[in-house]
Amino acid sequence: MTPSDKSKKSDAQVRTHRAGSKPSSVGRSGRAGEGWQAEKSALTRQAILEAAVRCFVEHGYANTTTAMIADEANVSRGAMMHHFPSRSAVMNAVVGYLHVRRLNEYRALMTDIDSPDETLTRDAIRISVENAWKYVNLPSFVAYQELLGAARTDETLAEAVGEVERDFEREFLKTVRSVFPHWKQVKSLQAAHDLVQFVMQGMGVAHRSSNREQRAKRVIDTVTDHLERIYLADTGVE
């Protein structure tokens, strides 16, 4: 083999090596691109759902349109339609999104309560009621009430809401039991939980009540008194 032949062979090997390595590089780049696209898609979807919640709070469920949500989320109409091809699709997705968000917000409020392991103090009881009041004033609660109102006459939405409501109640009570292991009887804890939940939710939807905060304070005092009596009767603590 002449030096010229060796040179040609070497050049051919280099070209072959380069050609063989190129697809591998492109493959890695493609996979990275796919990962970024998936992340971008997830962020866009999240932005749309968060925007829908803000629209519910500001304009109400009935007045919220997909175009309004797209503008609030700062996404194109095309991107909106890609993720949610209909108004019904985005509304049903918001139900699931709010389900997770509401649970996380409630857990954050309840786990912030500090009480001795042996005895549930009145201060801890009152803080739990005050935190329940804070909870029903969060945007997520207001938005969910809009969905509940609409679900009364929308069968598809009612089905979606019904599924998450059952799971929410289970997780809601599970959180309360983990934060307050002081209660001996589940029935007593359930009664206390129902009292707080229904009273606070009732106050929460009374947005236009006069002297709302002052009246809420009086109700919080009354509910705290009742909870303390239920707890003492449950545990026999003097």
DSSP output for 13-65:
HHHHHHHHHHHHHHHHHHHHHHHHHHHHHHHHHHHHHHHHHHHHHHH-TTT--
d(CA 54, CA 143): 8
Whole-number pLDDT of residue 131: 92
d(CA 170, CA 132): 17
Provide φ and ψ at 39, rounded to 5°: -65, -40
Torsion of CA 13, 19, 21, 25, to 10 degrees: 160
Whole-number pLDDT of residue 133: 94
d(CA 96, CA 73): 18
153 half-sphere exposure, CB direction, 13 A CA radius: 5
Domain edges within the chain: 13-82, 91-235
CATH of domain 13-82: 1.10.10
Whole-number pLDDT of residue 210: 79
Q: What is the mean pLDDT of each run of 10 residues along the chain (238 residues)?
A: 49 45 50 73 93 96 95 94 92 94 92 69 90 94 93 91 90 84 80 91 81 90 93 76
218: which DSSP letter? H
Q: Which fold has domain 91-235?
A: Tetracycline Repressor; domain 2 (1.10.357)
| Structure-block tokens of residue 53 | 């919640």
For residue 68, give the 3-state DSSP assignment.
helix
The closest of 232, 91, 210, 90 to 150, measured between CA atoms, is 91
Whole-number pLDDT of residue 12: 46
